[in-house]
Amino acid sequence: MSLRIALAPGDGIGPEIMEATLMVLHEMGVGQHVTFVPVEMGKAVFDRGESRGMTEAACRTVEECGLVLKGPMETPKGGGGKSINVSLRKMYGAFANLRHFRTLPGVETVYSRAGVNVNFYIVRENIEDTYGGIEHRLTNDVIECKRLISAPGCDQVSRFAFETARASGITKVHCGHKANIMKMTDGLFLERFRVIGQDYREIEIADVIVDALCMNLVIRPQQYQMIVLPNLQGDIVSDLAAGLVGGLGFAPSANIGQQVSIFEAVHGTAPDIAGKGIANPTSLLLSSLMMLRHIGLLKQAAMLENAMLATLESGVRTGDFGNPAKEPVGTAAFAKAIISHLGKAPSSVSPVPVPEQDVPTFVRQARPLNNPMLRTFTQVVNRVVGCDVYIDATHGPTEIATILGSLAEPSPFRLTMISNRGTQVWPTGSVYTECVDYYRVRFELKPGMAEKVLGQAPAIALLGRIAERFFVTDFQVLREFDGRPGYSLAQGQ
């Protein structure tokens, strides 16, 4: 039975590079095993007022197929719908973004000219972090973006990375993070990476702070084989990595989930050259190659990879890369050149071994009856030890402390800290600390109350009293988990 794959050509140059990609796949006989089902997504859907950027029929097809091949898509700037790329990944739980960055023959870069061979993977967490898009205007002057990191989300992406490393013969995996500053969120990401890594003893694990990672990638990229990162940092570092190998036009992308996986070109829609037939289809072809491996067409994937390498090696190029002394070809001619190299192998780089496996092994999982609930920590003892109240105020810290200290008198809590933009301004601090109209006010259990078992009701009662004097913008109960604080200190505390 033929596998069904949802096909979304995309916007701008998307239809042209998709046509070229399908031309190559057809000549390889992929159509014997796969049926592509067109779906409507992108600019035209946004323009009709559908904020998701995809029709209801497209959503149903994606869920039925479990596989998507898509071109680049335009997202409304500023107001309007959210990124369709992000929406697809998040709606369908495609939790791991896998990208392979390597030096390609015929694609000249600073590193290729220096004889430096770039060849590493980035695995980016795809669902959480600031990409939840949870934002609020809190005061006249302050807007927040909420960052969410979960233990199950960390576990999923780390395990996928180690499984991919094991299958690919990778011997060392790094975790990129900013746990020196974001000690709880990035700290959890790093901790779970280390825990999951213990199941893969043959693979060496290491970690690197993300700013140092960026420097290291520019100076000596060959020291890395695979890097696992949280969502936002992974997005930024992935684009940096693309710059090392010639740009996003040479960077494939696979978004892998338990139920749905999406293979896409991650470069822009290039509206300035759309319809001219000169776009470079390499990124989408490389993403298709990853898709072939994902569904089990290993022989076809290896043949495509060798043909692409041989084509690039021969000097065939589109106008955005290669030897300027050689006449560029158009999108369709580039695809035909790859077709002409099918069955051939490159000579300047090692060819990919061609396995015998040439029929799909992908099995579509049954549709879940309910939204899956992911859990990592199930036996945790937690208790309420205080609360943080966030207020819209232009008073000075001492005046706020005087008012709120008295409001806390009848409660089990005492005022212990006031911060502004994360920096402590009371009971100690510096008069040089500049403040805005948004304070965090922390209350903790009074001496003698430490052994009391409280629910959240006393904290909410205190919140009600504070709300009579100040505009409350946010509220967070403070809890300990297995005796460890589930909250961070302020800068300077």
382-485 placed in CATH 3.30.70.1570: yes
- Residue 61: CB atoms within 10 Å: 21
- Report long-range pairs for 267-274 (Cβ below 8 Å, ≥24 apart): 267/72, 268/12, 268/72, 269/10, 269/11, 269/12, 269/13, 269/14, 269/72, 269/73, 269/74, 270/12, 270/13, 270/72, 271/11, 271/12, 271/74, 273/13, 274/12, 274/13, 274/16
Q: Return the percentage of the chain with pLDDT > 70, whole number.
A: 99
pLDDT at 337: 98
Decide which of 216 and 367 is more confident.
Answer: 216
Residues in contact with 280: Cβ distance below 8 Å, sequence separation at least 6, in sequence order:
17, 249, 318, 320, 321, 331, 334
pLDDT in tens, 151-201: 999 999 999 999 999 999 999 999 999 999 999 999 999 999 999 999 999
* pLDDT band (50, 70, 90) for residue 462: very high
Mean pLDDT for all residues in the chain? 95
Q: Is the dihedral of CA 176, 180, 181, 187 positive or negative?
A: positive
Structure tokens at 31: 């159509």
Whole-angstrom distance, CA of residue 183 vs CA of residue 482: 18
Residues in contact with 480: Cβ distance below 8 Å, sequence separation at least 6, in sequence order:
382, 383, 385, 486
Q: Is 146 helix (H, G, I), strand (E, B) or coil?
A: coil
Q: Is 85 helix (H, G, I), strand (E, B) or coil?
A: helix
* pLDDT band (50, 70, 90) for residue 95: very high
3-340 placed in CATH 3.40.718.10: yes
Whole-angstrom distance, CA of residue 425 vs CA of residue 269: 48
pLDDT in tens, 358-414: 999 999 888 889 999 999 999 999 999 999 999 999 999 999 999 999 999 999 999
Average the pLDDT over 103-113 and give the result. 96
Q: What is the pTM of this model?
A: 0.94
* The pLDDT of residue 82 is above 90: no
* The pLDDT of residue 83 is above 90: no
pLDDT at 341: 98
* The pLDDT of residue 417 is above 90: yes
Whole-angstrom distance, CA of residue 91 vs CA of residue 117: 37
Count Cα neighbours of 282 within 13 Å in the Cβ-side half-sphere. Answer: 28
Asked if 124 and 189 touch (Cβ cutoff 8 Å), the reply is: no
Residues in the chain: 493
pLDDT at 81: 63
CA quadruple 322, 327, 328, 329: dihedral, nearest 10: -140
* The pLDDT of residue 78 is above 80: no
pLDDT at 1: 64
Q: Is 46 helix (H, G, I), strand (E, B) or coil?
A: helix
* The pLDDT of residue 10 is above 80: yes
pLDDT at 75: 77
DSSP label at residue 450? T
pLDDT at 8: 97
Residue 151, Cα to own-chain centre: how many angstroms? 16
Domain boundaries, the chain: 3-340, 382-485
Q: Which residue has the tokens 């190299």?
A: 341
